[in-house]
Amino acid sequence: MGTTPFDLTGRTAVVTGANTGIGQGIALALAEAGADIAAVGRSRADETAEKVRALGRRCELVSADLSTIAPVADVVDTVVAKLGRLDILVNNAGIIRRADALDFSEEDWDAVMDTNLKSLFFLCQAAARHMVTWSSQDGQRAKIINIASMLTFQGGIRVPSYTASKSGVGGLTKLLANEWAPRGINVNAIAPGYIATNNTAALQADEVRNRQIVERIPEARWGRPEDIGGAAVFLASSAADYVQGHVLAVDGGWLAR
């Protein structure tokens, strides 16, 4: 245990999709709080690793294409072999496909559901099988943080598989919390609002849509990756030991409006 409840010194965190945007923001925030990082994903997170190491923390890059569950067991084994343990899992990797519901293809449905929900569940499962073996031994609770969405709460348009997957993430987070709370694991989720990243560059550049978005947000600005990072540090820390099955909206007040 560190000097404050938010101190993650001695903890190891897996962050999927940590190469840029929200994933990078979460990885850096956890590292600033003291955690070592395993950056997992299809794209190499070299920039993230450099920044984590500059903070004095270890960072291992683990290559894995999470469009299938094939690499899931190897991811956990690799992280434990290289960093010694796995205390925190952040399921950030995800994809989106857009088309009218009348025209949406089975291929686009399966691709999004496989990455956003199926791989997320089986990575939670693989990590938890490791976590339960040591959480009962050293008394420190393990933490799983799933990245949900505003579409965990809302329907959206033209993204049926994304909405279904993120609604599933919210429900699955609650189920896993129910089952694993007695096993020393906290399972929660973060639902980001509109965050200024490369993925939202087109929306930010669209003068009309950008204005409409900002006008709806009480904070009157786009979120930043570090806004999500702060929430992740809280949920990963002992300060959140009594928080279970919660989906934390970090949206500048979007849902409140």
Residue by residue, DSSP assigns the chain as: --SSTT--TT-EEEEETTTSHHHHHHHHHHHHTT-EEEEEESS--HHHHHHHHHTT--EEEEE--TTSSTTHHHHHHHHHHHHS---EEEE---------TTT--HHHHHHHHIIIIIHHHHHHHHHHHHHHHHHHHH-PPEEEEEE--GGGTS--SS-HHHHHHHHHHHHHHHHHHHHHGGGTEEEEEEEE-SB-SGGGHHHHH-HHHHHHHHHH-TT-S-B-HHHHHHHHHHHHSGGGTT--S-EEEESTTTTT-
pTM over 0.85: yes
Residue 203 belongs to a domain: no
Give me the torsion for CA of 123, 168, 113, 107, rounded to 10°.
Answer: 170
CA distance 211 to 234: 31
CATH number of the domain to which 86 belongs: 3.40.50.720
Residue 141 lies in a domain: yes
* 20 close to 41: Cβ distance less than 8 angstroms: no
Per-residue pLDDT at 180: 98
Q: Is residue 181 situated within a structural domain? A: yes
Q: Residue 242 catalytic?
A: no
Residue 49 has which token pair?
């690793």
Residue 38 falls inside a structural domain: yes
Q: Which of 59, 130, 160, 162 is catalytic?
A: 162
**Residue 215 placed within a domain:** no
Instruction: Give the pLDDT confidence score for residue 136 in this predicted structure.
Output: 59
Q: How many domains does the chain have?
A: 1
The pLDDT tens digits along the chain (257 residues) read 457 999 999 999 999 999 999 999 999 999 999 999 999 999 999 999 999 999 999 999 999 999 999 999 999 999 999 999 999 999 999 999 999 999 999 999 999 999 999 999 999 999 999 999 876 567 789 999 999 999 999 999 999 999 999 999 999 999 999 999 999 999 999 999 999 998 888 889 999 999 999 999 999 999 999 999 999 999 999 999 999 999 999 999 999 99
Is 255 inside a domain boundary? no
Residue 27 belongs to what domain range? 12-196+224-250
